[in-house]
Each structure stands twice: as C-alpha cells, then as structure tokens.
Structure 1
Amino acid sequence: MRSLIAALLASTALPACADTIAATSRITAVTVYPDGAKLTREVTFSAPSAGAHELLVTDLPYDSDPGAIRLAPSEGLQVGAFALRADRLPPREDPLTEDQRAAKTAIEAAQGATDQAQLALEAITAKVEAAEAQARFLSSFTGALPDGATPDTIKSMAVMIGTETLAARQAALAAKAELSPARKAVTEAQDALAKAQAAYDSLPSVDMDYTALSVAVNAAEAGEETVTITQYVGNASWQPVYDLNLTREGGDKLVLDRAVLVTQYTGEDWDGVALTLSSSRPAEQAAPSQLWPELRSIGPEETEEDRARKVMGAGDVLYEAAPATVAAPAPTVTAGMGYEGDTVVYHYPEAVTVATGAENLRLALDNLDFAPVVKAVAVPRLDKTAFVMASFTNASAEPLLPGQAMLFREGVLVGQTWLDVIAPGVEIDVGFGAIETLTVKREMPKRAGGETGVFTSANQQSESAVITVENTGTESWPVRILDQVPYSEQDDLEIEVTASPEPSETDVEGQRGILAWEFDLAAGGKQTITLEQVLTWPEGMVLR
C-alpha cells in the first residue's frame, strides 16, 4: 500500500524548501457519519525563520487518502503543494503518550518483581532437589567396609550415614516448606504484571503504522504556527438506540430516551475529542439514478418448428436470428464526500475518547415526550390475548433516525423492535406487549344437526363466529378488535356479511375485508361480537 502511494505521488514535486520541520498532529474534533468520519487535526510547530520550509507531519494513518485531505493554515502562514510520504520516513522519538510511558514503567517494575519471585522459587526448588539427592545417595550406600574395620569403626560409619541422611531429609523438608509462599509470590507477581499490561493496553495509543504528510509552507515571520488538517476516513459509524417508556397512570405518556453507539476501526484512538454526529451519508449515493432508453421490438410469433431448430444447436440453425438489443450500460453511482446539507447534527457537549476497534461507545443524547393514543388491540382469529398499542406523532422538528428500541411498559421491559426513520409530523404505531388480563376468544358454534360453524352446499357456503373479549383485570381499556371476511371482485360471487354490533371501521387501512370494532371495556367486563357470512355462486361453478 505504501509503495503504491509513493509511486502515485512521485510526480508531485514540492518546491525547494530551506529546511524540514518535523511535527506531530492531535485530533481535536471528529464528525461521525453513519458510515465514515471527518477528522480535524491540529499541527502546531515553530518556524525557525521567515520564508519557505517543509512541514513534515509524521503521524497520519498509513492508509490515508491524499484526495480526502484539506489544509487550513493560521494567519500569516501560506501552504503550497503537499503529498503523502510512505517511505524514507524519519524516526519518531517516542510514539507513546505520557500515560503510556507511566504504564510502561509500571509494566517493567512488575516484570522485574516477577523475575525476582521466579528466581527465588527456583533457588528453593534447587535446595529441595539437592537435599533429596543427598538423602537418596546416603540411603543407597552399599560400599565395602574399609580394611581393618572394627566394630567401633562400623558403628561410627552407621551413625554417620544415619545422621547425614536425617539432616538431608530435614533440609529437604525445610526447603519444601518454603515452596508454597514462593509459588504464591510468583502467582501474585504474574497477576500484577497482567494487570499492568491490561492497564497499558487500555490506554489511547499513538503507536501505529503511519505515513507522513509533507507540506510546503511559507511563514511571514519566525514563531509558532498552526496548520489544521481535515481528513475523511472510513471504518467509523454511529447508530441511534432508543428506550421507549410507556406509562398510563395519571394519563397516557410516552417518553423516548435517545442514545447513540459510536464505533471506529480507523487504526488510531480518538482521545478527548469534540464529537459531532451527523446524519449525512457522504459514502452513499448523492445523485439520482440514471434512466436509460429501453428499446423494444416485435417479430413473427415463434412456432414449434422454430423452437425445435433452436434445440438442434448453433450448427444446425436454419433461420436468421432477430437483431439483438444492445444492453444498456450500468447506471453510474456517484457519491460526494464531505457534504453537510440540511441534515440532523448532534454536538456532544463533552470531550470523549473512542478507542479504535475496542468498544461501542454509548453516549446519551436527550429525551422526547409524546402524548400517545393507547389501545388494547386484539386479533382473535390468530391470538388469545390483546396487545398494548401506542400511536404517536413525531411532533419534533427533526426526524427520528432508524435504530433499535427497547420497549418498557410501566418501567418493565416487555420487548424490543426496530424503528424506521420517522419524519416530523408522521404517525407511528408501536406495540408494548401482551395484556394477560385481557383475553379474547373466537368460536364457531355448532349448528342444528351437529355441523360445525362452516356449512357448504353445492353453491353456497355460510360461516358463523362468536368473538368474546373479557377483561379480568382491575383496569379499564379502550379495545380495538380486528377480524376479516372474504371479498369478491366477481358479480356472480355474492358475499353477504352481518355483524352485531356493526363494525366501527371496514376495509381498514385500505385492506378489503378487514373489519374493526372499537369500544371501552371496563374492569371485569365482557363484550361479545357475532359475525356471519354467506357466499353464493351459480351452479356449475367452484368456490376458490
């Protein structure tokens, strides 16, 4: 990658500079898009004299795109040509931060303590092994008696062997008593070393593969100068997450708590940056798609003989093929980088740190209050209980962006859902779980003679159903019941539907045959709905 960048930029000549000023940058602000991010870096350096210099910024990520870099100098400084240098880079004195240097010192101290504890353990182990070896040697002694041995000499030798064996075994036992504390000391030192290493690994790092940005600058006078680098990168994203809290006590109320998850895999940590979240999508399509002319033609109707000839193969084709239509070129997808436009932007009020590849940083935004319309909605044909449904309108001036939502009812988690984008003024329905105390039942009573609720003759079918809704709880509910009846688009198929009570709404949301009943059901109350339908068609026809 570096060699490729170097080759591409070899032809980008920089003006001759009086000297080279090496400097590093600091990321001060980040704007994160749903896919990608804009990094703002500040480079502060000291110009030794007025005139031309080469500024060499030595800490840009190795995969930086020169086409996505913009420069802004401080007052009195001019910038000219710039290029990325991927090789022949100057060494950096110390790529570690102050916190990293302190953590590395702690690692070195912990490593030294671990080595000392290990050496102490090995010394004790050596004492044990030496004493045990001496005891084994003495106990296995089978040497011949010396010439002229007397009983006293033999007795002295036996006493000596016994005394020395006892001393060796006692020394081994004493050394073994030291093993347990020594092993514990090694374990504690290793734990301390692991914690020190983990503390180091958790710190924001500047030690990474890098490329250098070479910039021709011209200073009006000697002194401190600043160049601001704006850079667009991929491998970063954010997405909203929501908590929807529905309460009914004291009046129906819906509170939407908003937060965001920020993730980045850019290769460098964002340490203490000003964070902005933008709904702009610079990595996606920025222009409408292109339509291409569609050429259609007609020809003689294909016969069985024609189709047979096609099967025979290209060598046996006896007819002249119709001119082929040239495929239209694929539409070009264009994308713009860095546009802001009329998009929703969130400025986080505090500096944040986002480590690369290490976490999904969750940041709280704010909350919105809505006045929902809450109903208990049931579909008795498919379900045995009613469900809480809250309808609310986005009365804010901004769209609610798509994201995962956790659903709470009276403070209790009841489920989760995905919210699509909700534009200002748009109404949405969200379900908040089942109401166990509101049961529904749909029965098809038997007719005289034992037939079930569906009766079919040669050209007529009739069906009857009884829907029962019962509230066994202590809270009254506005209830909405949904059911369906067939519909016909043929004059010869007649459908007659009778319901008691009459439905409050027919063809719900434009869906033909969907019926709805709405009523209030008090605690301990019960409501019954009867529904009948008769389908009639001419003889000789079959119902499908």
Structure 2
Amino acid sequence: MRALLAVLLASTALPAFADTLPATSRITAVTVYPDGARLTREVTFTAPSAGSHELLVTDLPHDSAPGLIRLAASDGLQLGAFNLRADRLPPREDPLTEAQQSAKAEVEAAQVAADTAQLALEAITAKVEAAEAQVRFLSSFTGALPDGATPDTIKAMAAMIGAETLAARQSALAAKAELPPAQKAVTEAQEVLAKAQAAYDTLPSADMDYTALSVAVTAAGAGEATVTITQYVGNARWQPVYDLNLTRVGGAKLTLDRAVLVTQFTGEDWDGVALTLSSSRPSEQSAPSLLWPELRSIGPEVGAEELSRKAYGSDSALYESAPAPEAAAAPITAAMTYEGDTVVYQYPEPVTVATGAEDLRLALDSLDFAPVVEAVAVPRLDDTAFVMASFTNASGEPLLPGQVMLFREGVLVGSTWLDVIAPGAETDLGFGAIETLRVKREMPKREGGETGIFTSANRQSESAVITVENTGAEAWPVRLLDQVPYSEQDDLEIDVTASPAPVETDVEGQRGILAWEFDLTAGGKQTITLEHVLTWPEGMVLQ
C-alpha cells in the first residue's frame, strides 16, 4: 500500500506530506433544486501528528467537477490545495455501507439455517430409503432351505423374516413421519433467506465508479478532524405534485395538499440524508436579457435583383453591426442565492434516495384558501355548466409548477397542470361539470322552417334563445358567456340587443365576448335572448 501511495505522491504536483491519509465521506445533507442538487459530505479522519498531510477521499462520483466543489475544515485544521484523481487510485476497502454489512450478515445466517434444514431433510430421506430397501430385500428372499431343515427351523426362519420385515416397515413409516416438519423447516428457512436477500438488494450501495479528492491539510496536532465537502451536481430534480380539494359545505374552502417527487441519477445513493428542497433555479437564467440598439435607415429605391443581392449576398454588414450577446454566467453562480429570499422546504426526517430509482414521493404540508366559486356556462359549445374556483395565493410563497389532482367534495373530478402562481396572484381552476345545470342554446325558426340566421344582400341577422335550468337541489351562482361578432370598419355596422342585458362586455379584453351573472335557485330557470344585426353598403361582401 505504501509503495502505491508513494507512486501517487510522486506523480502529483502537491506539497510534500508527512503521511497520506485515505478516508471515505458520508453524504449528510442534500439540497435539491428543480434541476440539480447540492451535496454536503463529511470526512472524518485521524491526523497522526501535527504538520502537513495529504487527505485522500476515495469515494466521490467519477464525474465530479473541481470547479463545483467547496471545502471547509474543523477547528485546528488548515486546508491547502486540492485536486481530483480519476486514475491510479489506491484500492478501497469493502465499499458496503453499515446497513449493507448488517443485512449481509443476516443473509449469511439465513443461508446457514437453510443449508442446515436441507441437510436434516436429506438425512431423513436417507433413513426412509434405507428402510424401504431392507423391506424390498426381505420380501424378495427366495433362498433354499438349509440341509437337514426341520419344521422348527423353517418356522424360525419365517418368523425371523417376518419380524425383520415388520421392523423395517416400521422404521420407514417413522422416518416418513419426520418428513413433513423437515420439509416445512426447509421451506421456512428458504423464505427467510429470500426475504433477507431482498432486504439486502434494496439497500443503497456504496459501490460505484469513483474519483478521489486529494487535499493538502495542515493539522495543529494529532487527533480526529473533519473536512466538509460541498459539491454541486446535475442529474437530480424535484417537482411538486398537488391534491386540490374544493368544498362548499359550510362555506367555500380550497385545500391544497402538497407533496414532492424527488429523482436523482448522480451515480451514488443518498442514504439517510437531511433533505432540503429549494425553489431556486440555478441552472436557469440569472439576469435580465439584453436589448441591442436597432439601427434603421432609408435609401434610394432599388430593383428586385439588387434588393435580393443585398439581402442574400455576401454583404453582411447589417448582421455584423451588433455584437453577439455575452454567454450566460455559469449556472452554479446563481446557486448561492438560495439562502436569500428563495423559498426552501426542509423535510423533517432523514431520507434515502437511490440513484436511478423511481420518483420518491414525500409529503409536505397543506394550504387553505378562500375561493370564490361559481358555475360557468358556455352554451354555444357546452350543454352543461362547470364549477370554477377563483382564489388568491395568500400563502406568501410561490406555488411551483406541478401536476394537480382535482377533487370536489372529496371526489376526483379531473387533473390539470398548475403553472407558477406568485404570492398575491389570482388563479382560476375548473372542478368538473355540474350535471344538474343544463344549458341550451336554440336559434328559433320562422315560417317556412328557416333557421335563426337570415341573410340578404347587405344585411344579416342572428337570433338565439339561451336557457339555463337547475334540476338539482342546490342553488348556484352562474356566470354565462356568449359571443357576438365585432367590426373594426365604419361601414360594417353591428347592432346587438340582449334581454336581460349582459353585466360585462369585451370580457378580459376579448372583443365581442359577453357575460351574464345571476343566482339560479334549485329548480329555477333563466332565459336570455340575444340578437345581432350586421349591415353593410351595397356592392360589398361580408367576410
């Protein structure tokens, strides 16, 4: 070992050391971002004496980057230069974790018990086979009678064969009686072994491709010391998932149950770590975009050929006039902002996240909101109304993007994707159809069976009767939306009449969208008539 370490020291441009101290690290805490993670490792070792040493940490992932590593030392220890080694590494001891070592011992003990039970079963089987062989031999005896045999000797020989046959059969039966418990013992021992092996297989492993971190350390004296390694890695993420339950019994209430899915493909397992989830996004844009001056000019008119040559020819002065935008800063720089005003979530218990495994789901907390609930109907397209809940994010923290399962009075009614909702922002969400609110939009016919749209040379009219009926036992506040055409030409006039009149026109800035609001009692019905007339000069065509 010392010869190998001497070769390693001779091949690395580091200060001279009194000793090389191999050590392993343990991941104690992880901060996971929506894209990437920060790992905190602790390396505990014993300095044999005061002075300079080389600390060789032999279990970092093989794709570790030195620029994304930060070091901190305990009292009495000074850190110097460090580098990473990907080859000519010293051999490591058994990389099993403590949990794996314990589980491996249980597997070995279960294997011994299973082997012992199998041997006991085989011994009983041998007894059965020996007794049955003796019975077959005695039963097949056809030897000649000895010379001078008398009736007494013949009788004695027959008695002996009968007694021996009976004894052999009894031995066989007794041995067979021992078979069921022995077979059961084998089965149980094999089940225990299978469970122990499965438990061992599911444990996070410390065996992986690795690189070594070589650190120059100066100890004030002999004794135990600790180096903390902070390392930023990719291939890890978390995303929220939500259950959103809307209730109206006893007052409208919206409950948001939050959970997270954590996934990592870092190449090593996180075993029993303190987990923090940060909403910081260090891999995304960290500064506002840049605007560049746009120079426009005019010149004499040119023919099509000359214009094409200037546009597609070798003259690229217009494209070279503005400098190219600077490259974005390294993503890791923005990671330091997570301790500022960035929202983080700390999981209260140690967590194990295996590399390459399925998403690990962890529960967070619940938030309650006071929504405004109404039934929204679009009779032009739908034949029923839908529950819509509008709420303001009063939690003081952003709600991050995630999948939402929608519940109404505890019953699943759908799912959707939730975009980022900033603190204080208002959001509308749909919670399924209300089958008891039936919506109908009819265009009445006139004499001759004509439909509700009537067109002449320079005039077109459309009339509709909209009905909303509540067939249920619950009253609903209803918001009904419909539309009429709009014009941006003075010569195309549009006259709209509605009864009752809408409470809002050009809803959310959309021209021609109308809205009515009313309360619909149980068993109630509301009718709206809507008509619009378009007129334009003769000689023009409606488009």
**Do Structure 1 and Structure 2 share a fold, with TM-score over 0.5?**
yes
Find the counterpart in structure 1 of residue 62 from structure 2. 62
Which residue of structure 1 lines up, in the alignment, with residue 342 of structure 2? Answer: 344
TM superposition shift of 1:115: 4.0
Equivalent in the alignment of 1:385: 384
Query: Which secondary structure does the structure 1 equivalent of 2:529 belong to?
Result: strand
Question: 1:382–1:124: structure 2 CA closer, same or farther, 3 Å change rule?
Answer: farther
How much does 1:137 deviate?
A: 12
Question: 1:371 — aligned with what?
Answer: 370
Deviates more, 1:220-229 or 1:186-195: 186-195
Task: Tell me how far 1:181 sits from its aligned partner.
Answer: 6.9
Identity %: 78
Of 322, 328, 335 in structure 1, the residue corresponding to residue 330 of structure 2 is 335
Shift of 1:127: 8.9
**Which segments of 5 or more consecutive residues in structure 1 lack a partner in the other structure?**
1-8, 146-163, 308-318
Matches within 5 A, 1:178-327: 186-289=186-289, 300-302=303-305, 323-326=313-316
3-state SS of paired residue (1:337) = helix
Distance 1:520 1:322 in 2: 64
Q: 1:537 to 1:347 in 2, by over 3 A?
A: closer
CA–CA separation in structure 2 for the residues paired with 1:382 and 1:230: 57
Q: CA shift at 1:80, angstroms? A: 1.0
What are the superposed Cα offsets for residues 426-461 of structure 1, whole Å, 9 maximum, x if unpaired? 111011111111111111111122212222233322
Q: How many residues are matched?
A: 521
Instruction: Give 3-state SS (helix, strand or coil) of 1:480's partner.
Output: strand
In structure 2, what is the equivalent of residue 148 of structure 1?
none
Which stretch of the first structure deviates more once superposed, 39-48 or 171-180?
171-180
Partners of 1:82 and 1:345 lie apart in 2 by 33
C-alpha RMSD over aligned residues: 4.1
Instruction: Name the counterpart of 1:314.
Output: none
Residues 128 and 87 of structure 1, relative CA distance in 2, 3 Å threshold: farther
- Once the two structures are overlaid, the 10-residue window that deviates more, 437-446 or 252-261, is 252-261
Any idea what the Cα deviations from partners look like across 1:310-368, whole Å, max 9, x if unmatched? xxxxxxxxx99963254666873443305232453324252322222334333333322
Aligned equivalents of 1:485, 1:133: Cα separation in 2 = 102
Alignment-derived partner of residue 353 in structure 2: 355
Q: Secondary structure at the match of 2:16?
A: coil
Unaligned segments of structure 2, at least 5 residues: 1-8, 145-163
CA contact (8 A) 2:275 2:351 kept: no
For residues 270 and 349 of structure 2, what CA distance do their matches in structure 1 show? 10
Equivalent residue letter for 1:397: G
> Partner letter of residue 455 of structure 1?
F
1:430-445 to 2 correspondence within 5 Å?
430-445=429-444
Match of 2:160?
none
Could you say if the C-alpha distance between residues 136 and 299 of structure 1 is closer, same or farther in structure 2, counting changes exceeding 3 Å?
A: farther
Deviation at 1:502, TM superposition (A): 0.6
1:221 is displaced (CA, Å) by 1.6
What amino acid is the match of 2:373?
V
Instruction: Give me the whole-angstrom Cα distance separating, in 2, the residues matched to 1:469 and 1:120.
Output: 82
- 1:251 is paired with a residue whose SS is coil
Structure 1 match to 2:76: 76
Cα distance in 1, alignment partners of residues 59 and 537 from structure 2: 85
- Inter-partner Cα distance in structure 1 for 2:86 and 2:39: 20
Q: Distance in 2 between matches of 1:176 and 1:295?
A: 102
Q: Tell me what 2:33 maps to.
A: 33
Distance 1:246 1:323 in 2: 63
**Counterpart amino acid of 1:300?**
G
For 1:380 and 1:134, the matched residues in 2 are separated by: 94
> 1: distance between equivalents of 2:49 and 2:32?
38
**Cα deviation per residue 1:164-220 (whole Å; 9 max; x = unaligned)?**
999999999999998877766555444332211111122233233322211110111
CA distance in 2, matches of 1:234, 1:466: 60
Take 1:531 and 1:173, find their aligned partners in 2: how far apart are those partners? Answer: 97
| CA–CA separation in structure 2 for the residues paired with 1:281 and 1:263 | 16
Once residues 136 and 534 of structure 2 are traced to their aligned partners in structure 1, the CA distance between those partners, rounded to angstroms, is 105
What SS is found at the alignment partner of 1:516? strand
Deviation at 1:537, TM superposition (A): 2.7
1:53 paired residue number:
53
Does the 8 A contact of 1:279 with 1:343 survive in 2? no
Alpha-carbon separation, structure 1, partners of 2:10 and 2:289: 37
Change over 3 Å in CA distance of 1:88–1:335 after alignment to 2: closer
> Aligned residue for 1:155?
none
The whole-number CA distance in structure 2 between the counterparts of 1:226 and 1:175 is 64
Instruction: State the Cα deviation string for residues 35-85 of structure 1 (Å, max 9, x = none).
Output: 111011111211111110011112212221122111111222111111122
- For 1:126-165, what aligned pairs fall within 5 Å after superposition? none
Query: Which residue of the partner structure matches residue 98 of structure 2?
Result: 98
Match of 1:496 in 2: 495
Which region of structure 1 is more displaced relative to structure 2, 123-132 or 509-518? 123-132
